[in-house]
Amino acid sequence: MAEEVDWEIPESVQPKHGEFAFDLDEALLAIVGIQATIPEDAFTAQTLGTQRGGSGVVIRENGLIVTIGYLVTEAETVWITTGDGRATPGHVAAYDQETGFGLIQSLGPLGVPALPMGRSAGLSIGAPLVVAAGGRRHSVSARLIARQEFAGTWEYLLDEALFTAPAHPFWGGAAAIDSAGKLVGIGSLHVQQAIPSSAPRDINMVVPIDLLAPILDELLTHGRPDHPPRPWLGVYTGDTEGRVVIAGVLPRGPASAAGIRPGDIVLAVRDEAIASVTDFYRKLWRSGSAGVEIPIELVRDGRTVWVRVKSRDRSTMLKRRRLQ
């Protein structure tokens, strides 16, 4: 976000001069604000809104920006704001459903340096990080507190996500920068960490940058990774007392068409018992590529029922990007 906006991180948790061996102020110039407008009839408009704002990170001198994809999914217009308040239009170059990364190409010169990408795999627990949504006043001096599997309710799974604390209040698209001044992740969510005999702690979930490097060229060439898309059902899930429960069903999605309802309990996929949300996702995705028909065993109102869901490629539900 631009430096002229009126919020700032409490000074006690801002990164300080001398904490890092690199020029922090120079590195933070690569953090830009992102404002996206989404059509009211877009598939994601009801769940994610039509006006979305967050941050992005310039990773190439030509104005290529990485952000978290939900900010720009189905975006009709995108504006990029530099730290000194200059606004430049952008084009959504790609969005990867599996990792959650989005790429934006600036349509004009940004006049800021690119932040080099580092290696998130080399981070150890306790490693110092800067989580930044702009300049120093909009950054948090944080630590890596965990790296573990993360399952989102919206058919999303990371084998190993990064978790940082203290939490940044404007996490969407924020940069996680390591002690060498390199980008190691992109902020995705605010979550809570359960602590025994204490109140839950606010933390951020960060998508590791190592997931971007293998697919970056494919995203820039094709707009998506060069492999068949996963099957998608259009459900929200949750774990309740060790059972996988359908928490919500998206209108016009495959699950809705097959008659799956909120409150249904998932017992099996293709005769394979389901033990958790992550197990459910992995067995769905092992069923084949998008379009495959998937038999699912459910418990509904105390009775066992089977449904056959004709899966889809999630991206076919979205409005296509167009060059502005």
- Tokens read off for 102: 């989005």
User: Residue 1's pLDDT is what?
Assistant: 33
- pLDDT tens-digit readout, 125-164: 999 999 999 999 999 999 999 999 999 999 999 999 999 9
Model confidence at 321, pLDDT cuts 50, 70, 90, reads low
Query: Residue 196: pLDDT band by 50, 70, 90 thresholds?
Result: confident
Mean pLDDT along residues 208-223: 95
Q: CB-based contacts of 219: which residues, under 8 Å, 6+ apart? A: 93, 94, 96, 101, 103, 225
3-state class percentages of the chain: helix first, strand second, coil last, to nearest 5? 15, 40, 45
CA–CA separation, 61 vs 82, rounded Å? 14
pLDDT digits (tens, 9 = 90+) for 81-96: 999 999 999 999 999 9
pTM of structure? 0.94
**At CB < 8 A and 24+ separation, what contacts does 245-253 make?**
246/298, 247/153, 252/43, 252/317, 253/312, 253/317
- Greater pLDDT, 156 or 223: 156
The DSSP code for 309 is E
Distance CA 28, CA 113 (A): 9
- Our measurement of the distance from residue 23's CA atom to the centroid of its chain's CA atoms, rounded to an integer in Å, reads 28
What domains lie within the chain, and their CATH numbers?
1-227 (2.40.10.120), 235-317 (2.30.42.10)
- For the stretch 34-55, pLDDT in tens is 999 999 999 999 999 999 999 9
Task: List phi, psi (to 5°) of 119.
Answer: -125, 115
DSSP letter (8 states) at residue 291: T
